[in-house]
Amino acid sequence: MRADRLVATLLLMQSRGKVTAAEVATELEVSVATARRDLEALSTAGVPVYPQPGRGGGWSLVGGARTDLSGLTETEAQALFLLLGPAASLTPEIRTALRKLTRALPATFRAEAAQAAEAVTVDPAGWGERRRDRPAPVEVLQRAVVRRRRVAFDYQGRERVVDPWGVVAKGDLWYLIAGTERGRRTYRVDRMLDVRLTEEPADRPADFDLTTAWQEVSAELERRRSLVAATIEVDQRLVPVLQRIFGQHCHPDGETEVPAGRARLVVAAHTVRSVAEQLAGFGAAVDVLGPEPVRRELVTIGEELITRNRS
């Protein structure tokens, strides 16, 4: 018997006062027989649940008894769903449990709890860029998404006021997907300054799905990030380091055999300069086999370093 199902059954009873086995089965997506067994098991275990037979009957909690979990305030319920929501984007089991718990919450909490669960999604595959701390505006943006309020902020020297649709954690970086007068836009949170929650209501498309939207945004960003590819050869021990730097734009080139302890890789970035800059820090530890524009750019970077450091 699933613990999450029993908790959801209890919350459902508390929010409705009285339920039938058929209602529990419908809400929690189980058979009527399973719902009845769960209700009987709760009663047998000492939970003050009792049946009322006959027409208009059902199952109720004696004296309106409440569990500790139902003592959540509205703010606490939102915090719980904000915490679990991102995990739901990774595992279908948590998604199912959240859906059941949402239905079982008191009606006054249900809408914003559901919005909190959908406010954030997680994409664990980073770009290769590292940040230690979560940007401070993330909490404000989450509140804006849940409360359906517009946010104002400075971005690249301009004041913006947008409708926040969702927040995305991409590895160590955070993004806001928002609606604007010019359509959907994506903003990198650590570049947003002076983020303010306004009292203006925000519009969010009824059919908007944050996970799907991020997949579209991410695919376009990945395409832009992989316009220039270079083939390199390195010591095998450097492969994990390069994979962290280039993310998914670093993969083995298996077409040519290399000496033992060496690896041949293909790495990519959005410009020739960007590829060269990321490889330059490895010095002679990386052999760049091509293309020629990347090799020439590495020479240019080397000359710049010599000139700057000699002077």
Q: Which CATH class is domain 123-223?
A: mainly beta
Cα separations in angstroms, 93 against 64, 89, 114, 148, 259: 30, 10, 16, 27, 46
| Residue-level pLDDT at 296 | 94
Domains of the chain by residue range: 3-69, 72-117, 123-223, 226-310
Q: Decide if pLDDT at 118 tops 90.
A: no
Q: Decide if pLDDT at 163 tops 90.
A: yes
Q: Decide if pLDDT at 107 tops 80.
A: no
Q: Which CATH class is domain 3-69?
A: mainly alpha
Query: In this predicted model, which residue has the larger pLDDT, 171 or 170?
Result: 170
Query: In this predicted model, which residue has the larger pLDDT, 95 or 166?
Result: 166
pLDDT digits (tens, 9 = 90+) for 234-260: 999 999 999 888 877 888 887 777 888
219-226 contacts at long range (C-beta below 8 A, 24 or more positions apart):
222/248, 222/249, 224/270, 225/127, 225/249, 225/268, 225/269, 225/270, 226/268, 226/269, 226/270
Q: Decide if pLDDT at 189 tops 50.
A: yes
| Residue-level pLDDT at 91 | 52
Give the CATH number of domain 226-310. 3.30.70
| Residue-level pLDDT at 287 | 93
Q: Decide if pLDDT at 8 tops 90.
A: no
Q: Decide if pLDDT at 161 tops 80.
A: yes
Span 200-219, average pLDDT:
88
Share of the chain above pLDDT 70, in %: 72
pLDDT digits (tens, 9 = 90+) for 43-90: 765 566 777 777 777 887 765 544 444 455 555 454 554 544 554 454
pLDDT band for position 184 (50/70/90)? Answer: very high
Q: Decide if pLDDT at 1 tops 50.
A: no
User: The pTM is what?
Assistant: 0.50
Share of the chain above pLDDT 90, in %: 27
| Residue-level pLDDT at 69 | 47
Q: Decide if pLDDT at 179 tops 80.
A: yes
